[in-house]
Structure 1
Amino acid sequence: MSDVHSDQLLSEVAALPNLPGVYRYFDAAGAVLYVGKARNLKKRVANYFQKSHGGTRIGHMITKIARMETTVVRSEAEALLLENNLIKSLKPRYNILFRDDKSYPYLKIASHKFPRLAYYRGATDRKHRYFGPYPSAWAVKESIQLLQKVFKLRTCEDTVYANRTRPCLLYQIKRCTGPCVGYITPEAYAQDVANAEAFLMGDTQVVLSQLEARMTAHAEKLQFEQAAELRNQMSALSRVLHQQSIEIASDKDVDILVVKVQGGRACVNLAMVRGGRHLGDRPYFPVHVEEAVEVHEGETDGDLEGGEAGLVGTRASVEVQVMEAFIAQHYIDVPVPATLVLSEQVSRELIEAVSQQSGTRITAVFQPREQRRLWLEMAQTNAALQLARLLAEEGSQQARTRAMVDALELAPDDLDNFRVECFDISHTAGEATQASCVVFEHHAMQNREYRRYNIDGITPGDDYAAMRQVLHRRYGKLAEAMAAESDAPPSGDAAGVGSDAPPATKAARMPDLVLVDGGKGQVSMAREVFSELGLPLSLIVGVEKGEGRKVGLEELVFADGREKVYLGRDSAALMLVAQIRDEAHRFAITGMRAKRAKVRVGGSQLEDIPGIGPKRRARLLQRFGGIRGVAAASVEDIASVEGIAFDLAEEIYRALH
């Protein structure tokens, strides 16, 4: 392996210390390949470069290593935490990676004289009380409804609350005590809030005891109406406890984690118990599992002294590796409960490191009993169902991609990374012309990579000129970079390694297929552009509408001279092509309408024009009856308004047209 690496890299490896730390491997383009930890940096990293790994994934990765970075730490626990922070931020190609998910929702009790219940997602603060996190929005809303039934706390916005003169429907159906109109005292409402908070924290027995004591006190004072109200509250709470199967004497806060691996994919199912209540499940599907597992096995196969195979032992199962990766990455940003019930036995060092990071003493349970065992079995069932659903969906998606590739007689190196970019032009009688580019990759639309292009400097309504412009803008610089790369020395040469040339990004990668919404005319224009740029014509395919422009009758037009192809109404390939084409059209239409609306109401609004303050704006709107009238006025008409000089009138006219 050493003959493919620079002398500088090998000397850096030889100079590594015999200390714990974290290492990062980078390829020649600067992309991070792998992040790892080691008890002994020198022994671990040297093992990569001294052994022959053949044509395996780890061998393929090692041949790509052009640069290395290392960080020495004080302990193995610190190495583990740093490793997973880097994995989460750098997203290496050969590590098990859990993609960032949307934040977890919370139940918020907002600070107020009469606090309100609210659904909340975002950063928490100390001003309000937050309970959670919950696995889903549904779980939060279900909890709010439950608290309304039992404790009758308000959920209305403060602006609504402040302007009520009579109670709303929630009071009528006994879901609120009517604090907005003074039907409950602040002291009594505060007691309901305290009981609700105690319930959410799992102190249900304490709540029942307090309610019973208050009911008895009212009864002794012959305050039977108040006593009856507390009795009803106790009955409602008892029904909830029974219906929700809440274990009063059992765990309060627990996370149950189950790993299921099948068909090259993995699912981690996270079930949450908060306040003794099982709130539901949330599945996670990591990527790079197969690559990371092979790299892990390759790095633990050596004769590493002193158990240098890592914190998890010499060869952990796939399930254990996935579980450990999830725990280490997930609890970086999410509060960790005191108890974790796990389907796999992870390392003690990992649990200690997460405990140290969170400041919470964590207990990991691997062979649970009684209620915990029931929770684990429920999570295992859900993990199997979620993974089966994912495999079924992916199988269908892969089949559609394969059908399109076969129908177009393409031969991609990697079907999973097969990339399609589709263009469409949209305008209204030449107004607000925009081009859209949508991206299909990994068997799905990649909406984060969609782009819109404002088209200027063409004859209004000239779709061919618009297509020429957008293709030049999309692929012009990429073609130049590809040409420069073909003239550059190989990356293994001295001139290639350590070059200052900017790395090619994934977003700039040339697609495997370029679809244009249109027939021969648009394809001819695309062929001209690609010929000028020196790009292969075989990439271009036009989607021509069939007779009567009916869906399912489309024909495919090729730029490289092949005959048109009709795939058939029921063709899976045509269905996918039509989906991509329709998405490009939808994306172009929405952008065009937004631009047109902005132009028609005065794009950069009056207040955005230098020299236009509130008084001049008011005079303009009053004279012309609104922004549309200002936009329709001539420069002379605008200049006739008091306080508007001719130069400023010209500036206003230009800004609105």
Structure 2
Amino acid sequence: MESSKIKSLPHLPGVYVFKDESGTPIYVGKAVDVRKRVEQHFSGAPIDPREDVLRKKAVDVEVFTTRNEVEALILENNLIKRFKPALNVMLKDDKTYPYIKVTKEEYPRVLLTRRLLDDGATYLGPYTSPSAARLTIKHLRQVFPIRSCSLELGKKSYRPCLDYYIKLCSAPCAHFISKEDYLKLVEGFVSVLKGSYKRVLAQLYEEMEEASSQLRFEEAARLRDRIFALERISTKQFAQLPGWADYDVFAVSGDVGAVLHFRKGALVGREVIRIKAPQGIPKEKLVAEFIELFYSSGRIPSATVIAEVSKEDAHVLKSWLITKNPECEVRPPKNLKEKELLEMCYANLPQTTKEDALKELARILKIQSARVIHGFDVSNLGASYPYVSAVCFKDGEPDRRNYRVYKIKWVKGQNDFAMIREAVFRHARHIKSGELPKPDLILIDGGPIQLSYAKQALLMAHTDTPVISLAKKEEVVYDTEGKELRLPRSNPALQILQHVRDEAHRFALKHHRKKRRKESLKSALEEVKGIGRVRLSRILERYPTLESLKKANLDSLCKIPGISKTLAQRILFVIKERQTSP
């Protein structure tokens, strides 16, 4: 890179983006002094292999100045997500465990999610068991009855749903509670999940005594019931180990990172996340970049983040993380107890890489390679909406560009076996035409019968691709000859197959739900007098789901060709009726 270009850069905090000859971003970095940091990249001997590659490929640099280092860190993270530069560390999979989400709305609601977004909401967790997370929500809503529905609340009043009558919701939709009192419930809900249940309990006792002294006995009784319920929950959920604080502990090795979550001394969750990292990055730098990416998707850090990071990186990370949790500090372990936690985190890292797991899978199945795997799963509701999903994995990672969904055309009635045969046959034709990559292995969700139908399809398509199946519950593998293989649950080869199978199932369900929502919208619109086939297709083109149509207004509907003001009013009336019906 030309030295004149570097000398023209400002001595200000900001983000710099190195680009190659084609203008493609290859590395994004941040600095307190952009010019000084860029000069360091090109002075002296390269400190690691990544910097060596950077010097050879970088021909241009673009700079974004910020007011401080924290803003630079946030911008750096956003640009990494946007450009996906080859020389930056990036998360590969980030949807491991469910979180409890409390939305940022006028009347917040609670839900369970695996998607962490930087949307201002509060995310609490992770939870290793979805059923345990749902049970936690249910128990806490008995104490703090906040809503879980997706209604857009405002001035309009709705009829309360069943949750109100079974005391899981205080019905803000029906204006049965003031906004101020409702937000107090939300605050209590979040505080308990953060571990501050003793403070919340003391506050409830104080409110109960005040209500009793003012002769508001019904309110005092409600507070008493909430106190009893919270005490029962705290006995079950919040056992403590003396003298222990809240920790998030980080460890990284190779292409995988692990995070252990301790709350009040109890291990409440573990996340193992695959990462994409250039070779040769110093360990401290790799861990710091992993932490930055981990918390960038909406997670709230604990009071103490334990990791092997430098003082400089720890300071930068803390400056950013205190905007999410004012009590947060980032540092290496400083006593024997914390060193043991870090050792435990390293012990939770997988001992084999995905490359090793794929080689092990190929060895077990006696095939040449398992780098490219296609997985199939059937999704239907009785004989309605029959679909088969086909997912593609390359080197153990989802290749979503080559996902397909096959609407069943040739099979009448509910015959899952024949559906698999049709989908595999049609899929094989796409592979032969070059539309899809040729797989090293095909995986069918099911047992020996599903496997035999898939083999029939491949025989019809004149292809000899190895095909196996994986049965749920027992997790039995049926190999290319139909023989049973019972692998240990900890076997990395089995875990690869489970990942492919589960992803095919998730993709099939996603498409099936999308189709059902569209059919639900069609049935709603068919109730409206004056909507025929042509108008229906125009509305569906503009509003493909019932949820999107609920957000429409009179003006936007009237912009659709053939939709008059009167007809638009009829549509809105029918949609609102469906929305308010219990």
TM-score, normalised with respect to structure 1: 0.50
Structure 1: gaps of 5 or more residues: 1-8, 298-317, 425-431, 476-509, 527-540, 546-550, 556-566, 619-657
Q: Aligned partners of 2:329 and 2:423: how far apart in 1? A: 66
Q: Secondary structure at the match of 1:162?
A: coil
What is the total number of aligned residue pairs between the two structures? Answer: 463
Q: Which residue of 1 aligns with 2:394?
A: 441
Q: Which residue of 1 aligns with 2:345?
A: 383
| Alpha-carbon offset, residue 553 of structure 1 | 7.7
Superposition deviation, residue 35 in structure 1? 2.8
Task: Provide the rounded CA distance (Å) in 1 between the counterparts of 2:423 and 2:230.
Answer: 69
Match of residue 211, structure 1, among 201, 205, 208: 205
Note the residue ranges of structure 2 that are not aligned, 5 or more in a row. Answer: 152-156, 378-384, 410-421, 443-453, 469-476, 488-492, 534-582
For residue 400 of structure 1, report the CA deviation from its aligned partner: 0.8
Deviations 1:605-642, CA, capped at 9 Å, x for gaps: 79999xx9944749xxxxxxxxxxxxxxxxxxxxxxxx
2:257 matches 1:267: yes
Larger radius of gyration, structure 1 or 2? 1
Q: Contact 1:96 / 1:322 at 8 angstroms: preserved in 2?
A: yes
**For residues 579 and 355 of structure 1, what CA distance do their matches in structure 2 show?**
42
SS of the counterpart of 1:387?
Answer: coil
Which amino acid is 1:325 matched to?
Answer: E
Deviation of 1:324 (Å): 1.6
Alpha-carbon separation, structure 2, partners of 1:279 and 1:339: 15
TM-superposed CA distance for 1:472, in Å, is: 3.0
Distance 1:82 1:209, change over 3 A: closer
Give 1:105's aligned residue: 100
CA distance in 2, matches of 1:553, 1:352: 52
Residue identity in the other structure for 1:283: E
Aligned to 1:93: 86
Structure-2 separation of matches of 1:569 and 1:344: 45
Structure 2 CA distance, aligned partners of 1:55 and 1:279? Answer: 36
Task: Give the CA deviation at 1:367.
Answer: 6.8
Q: Write the mapping of 1:143-222 to structure 2, written as runs, cut at 5 A.
A: 143-148=136-141, 151=143, 153=145, 162=160, 170=166, 193=185, 196=188, 200=192, 202=196, 204-205=198-199, 207-208=201-202, 210-211=204-205, 214-215=208-209, 218=212
1:323 touches 1:346 (CA, 8 Å); kept in 2? Answer: no
Within 2, Cα distance between the matches of 1:249 and 1:433?
A: 55
Q: Which runs of structure 2 are paired with 1:365-444 in the superposition (5 Å)?
A: 366=331, 380=342, 383-384=345-346, 386-388=348-350, 391=352, 395-401=356-362, 407-408=367-368, 418-419=371-372, 438-443=391-396
Which amino acid is 2:293 matched to?
Q
Report the CA distance between 1:399 and its aligned residue. Answer: 0.8
Check whether the contact 1:88–1:98 (CA below 8 A) recurs between aligned residues.
no
C-alpha distance 227-279 of structure 1, shift in aligned 2 (>3 A): farther
Contact 1:269 1:380 (C-alpha < 8 Å) held by counterparts: no
Structure 1 Cα separation of the partners of residues 524 and 191 of structure 2: 52
Match of 1:364 in 2: 329
Q: Which AA in structure 2 matches 1:440?
A: F
Aligned to 1:119: 111
Aligned to 1:281: 269
Partner of 2:259, secondary structure, is strand
Letter in 1 for 2:205: L
Could you tell me which residue of structure 1 aligns to residue 290 of structure 2?
326
CA contact (8 A) 2:295 2:301 kept: no
Distance in 1 (alpha carbons) for counterparts of 2:158 and 2:46: 68
For 1:365 and 1:135, how far apart are their aligned partners in 2? 20
- Partners of 1:215 and 1:226 within 8 A in 2: no
CA distance in 2, matches of 1:186, 1:47: 58
Cα-to-partner distance string for 1:447-473 (whole Å, 9 max, x where unaligned): 5631358999xxxx9999996566335
Q: Cα gap change, 1:160/1:391 in structure 2, threshold over 3 Å: closer, same or farther?
A: farther
Tell whether the 8 Å contact from 1:208 to 1:234 is kept in structure 2 after alignment: no
CA 1:193/1:12 → structure 2, altered by over 3 Å: closer, same or farther?
same
Q: Which residue of 2 aligns with 1:505?
A: none
> Cα 1:88–1:179, aligned 2, differ >3 Å: closer, same or farther?
closer
Q: 1:522 aligned to 2:475?
A: no
The two structures have a TM-score, normalised by structure 2, of 0.55
**In 2, Cα distance between equivalents of 1:569 and 1:335:** 42
Query: 1:400-426: per-residue Cα shift (whole Å, max 9, x none)?
Result: 14566x743x7xxxx9xx3356899xx
1:474 aligns with 2:435: yes
Q: CA RMSD in A?
A: 6.5
Alpha-carbon distance change, 473 to 332 in structure 1, aligned in 2, over 3 angstroms: same
Distance in 2, matches of 1:43 and 1:219, equals 66
Matched residue, 1:133: 124
CA contact (8 A) 1:437 1:452 kept: yes
**C-alpha distance in structure 2 between counterparts of 1:107 and 1:13, whole Å:** 47
Following the alignment from structure 1 to structure 2, what is the Cα–Cα distance between the partners of residues 353 and 462? 49
Q: Which residue of 1 aligns with 2:303?
A: 339
Aligned identity (percent) is 18
User: CA offset at residue 269 of structure 1?
Assistant: 1.0
What does residue 5 of structure 1 align with? none
Deviation at 1:209, TM superposition (A): 5.6
Please give the alpha-carbon distance, in whole angstroms, between the structure 2 residues aligned to 1:54 and 1:110: 47
Counterpart residue number, 1:537: none
